[in-house]
Structure 1
Amino acid sequence: MNSQPEVTADPEIIAHRGGLWPDMSENTLDAFRAAAAMGVHWMETDVHVSADGVLFAAHDSDLQRIAGRADSIVELTAAELDDVELIAGGRLPRLETLLGELPGVEWNIDVKAAHSIGPMIRFVHNHDAADRIRLASFDSATLRRLRAALPGVRTSTGRAETALFALGRLPGLPAHGAAPLAPEVDALQVPERFKGLPVVTADFVDRAHRSGLLVHVWTVNEAESMRSLLELGVDGIVTDRVEMGLEVLARTRRSGE
């Protein structure tokens, strides 16, 4: 948590939606299994809720891109969603299934819509999942609601919170930025650049670590970018290219020995 002393952590590869694999759809049990078989411990996924309150791993709110259907996930029951065949193969997994099938994995879960907040809270309580997850959202208000209902559960920062942290580079402000962060925040999850401007700099990483925060960068699919970020000291690379990421990480570790 950000109230702790300076953080130190071994950098890791985080499988974005399970990673991209031949003949597999993103955000499917098969994709997450493939990443886990490579040794990945943290998976990134997104959740949307069905009409009857069941959380599914899916990035989009509808099925058009992944299944060629215009239906919104929230309009279909869990049983109906279980039967949807994805264009690239596989089916949407229930979040409960993912945690049950991959007990050694931890999950970075992006709560995409306001109507998924309540089901996410109930899921954490009902499945005793607090120690295996980190909750994320671009929306800082969503994260505040999740933290209030789930005190102690790890979260990343939303866009507004990240922007306030970034202001810590200015003279006279503390390392954690223009406002203190909630104790549940353990990670800044950011793009390498935003609107052409660098986000992840040596100062940003240093201030994060001095504030007790990890730095995870998304979504990085080029080997050279991965190397540069690891040299800056980031703690996690979120990537679709899991095998590449693991290879770059292994080489970086060997060169640092």
Structure 2
Amino acid sequence: MTHPWFSAAPLPRVLAHRGFVPPDAEGVVENSFAAVAAAHAAGAVYVESDCHLTADGEVVLFHDADLTRVIGDQRPIADVRARELEDLMSTRGGLITLPQALTAFPTVRFNLDMKADAVAAPAGRIVAKHADRVLVTSFDDGRRIAALDAARAAGGTPATSPGTKTMARVVAAVATGSRRLVGAAVRGLDALQVPERHKGVRVVSRRLIDAVHRHGVEVHVWTINEPDDMSRLLDLGVDGLVTDRCDLALAVVASRS
């Protein structure tokens, strides 16, 4: 049975990577309240984001483990209290916590990457009652599973895509040509969210797409920002594009309908 996360929009899907920062935006950074709002306003149904835990236990949407790149402060997120982070983000589009994201944007489907061990269980508990519109992932399968376990214990079952080790098992299974092995490798997964290439090696191919489609698993490719690449990958058969330019991707999708 297809998870409800996938029912919000027809294929192909556009996932707004860390929200959307329009090229002419000033003072707005990724994963801010304004970035999520801009993605929603542009027509994106799916927003990809990241979760970290503050010093006082708030789950916030933030990609990096520290504030250096976004704010120019070298402290780790885990050492900063939410109120201070809110002040620091006030001129950058505004801090958005996970509960705020889920309540302020009730029609948005969120794709949430667990970026730290400590955030997995708290984030899982928060998303439990919104599980029909949340997909949980992480490069670290342990974090992903911890978040899923916490959500299930709280009464919800989010969709999920695999971490690096599980993805490697899927690729290896596809290489064997065995439908049985592929089925075992993707068991419990709803989507594969992958780069087109990893360390110069092609990951996304028609063979991979066809193999996982036979088991009801979608393929979403990141991070695709050029319209020609978007069209090429959609022609290949991918189900979703994770992109910094959801405006361009939505236009490409609309032009194909």
Q: TM-score, normalised by structure 2?
A: 0.88
Aligned mates of 1:103, 1:176 — CA distance in 2: 38
- Decide whether the 8 Å contact of 1:2 with 1:181 is kept in 2: no
Asked if 1:245 is matched to 2:235, the reply is no
For residues 139-175 of structure 1, what are the alpha-carbon distances to aligned partners after superposition, in whole Å with 9 as ceiling and x for unaligned? 1122222333334321111111111111233345226
- Decide whether the 8 Å contact of 2:186 with 2:217 is kept in 1: no
Structure 1's 116 and 169: CA in aligned 2 closer, same or farther, altered over 3 A? same
Q: Residue in 2 aligned with 1:46?
A: 50
Structure 1's 234 and 123: CA in aligned 2 closer, same or farther, altered over 3 A? same
Asked if 1:118 is matched to 2:121, the reply is yes
Gaps of 5+ in 2: 4-9
Asked if 1:161 is matched to 2:188, the reply is no
- Which of 157-166 and 172-181 deviates more? 172-181
What secondary structure, in the 3-state scheme, does the structure 2 residue paired with 1:84 have? helix
Equivalent residue letter for 2:160: T
Aligned mates of 1:211, 1:2 — CA distance in 2: 11
Higher fraction of helix:
2
What secondary structure, in the 3-state scheme, does the structure 2 residue paired with 1:237 have? strand
Gaps of 5+ in 1: 4-8
Asked if 1:219 is matched to 2:223, the reply is yes
What secondary structure, in the 3-state scheme, does the structure 2 residue paired with 1:53 have? coil
Say how many residue pairs are matched.
245
Q: Residue in 2 aligned with 1:131?
A: 132
- Decide whether the 8 Å contact of 1:221 with 1:239 is kept in 2: yes
Aligned equivalent of 1:34, options 33, 38, 57: 38
User: 1:91: how far off?
Assistant: 2.5
Higher relative contact order (CA closer than 8 Å, sequence separation 6+): 1
- Which of 148-157 and 26-35 deviates more? 148-157
Q: Residue in 2 aligned with 1:105?
A: 108
- Decide whether the 8 Å contact of 1:175 with 1:210 is kept in 2: no
Q: Residue in 2 aligned with 1:204?
A: 208
Structure 1's 2 and 159: CA in aligned 2 closer, same or farther, altered over 3 A? farther
Aligned mates of 1:68, 1:86 — CA distance in 2: 14
Asked if 1:174 is matched to 2:179, the reply is yes
For residues 22-77 of structure 1, what are the alpha-carbon distances to aligned partners after superposition, in whole Å with 9 as ceiling and x for unaligned? 22211111111111112110000001011111111100011111111112111111
Q: TM-score, normalised by structure 1?
A: 0.88
Question: What RMSD over aligned residues (CA atoms) do the two structures have, in Å?
Answer: 2.1
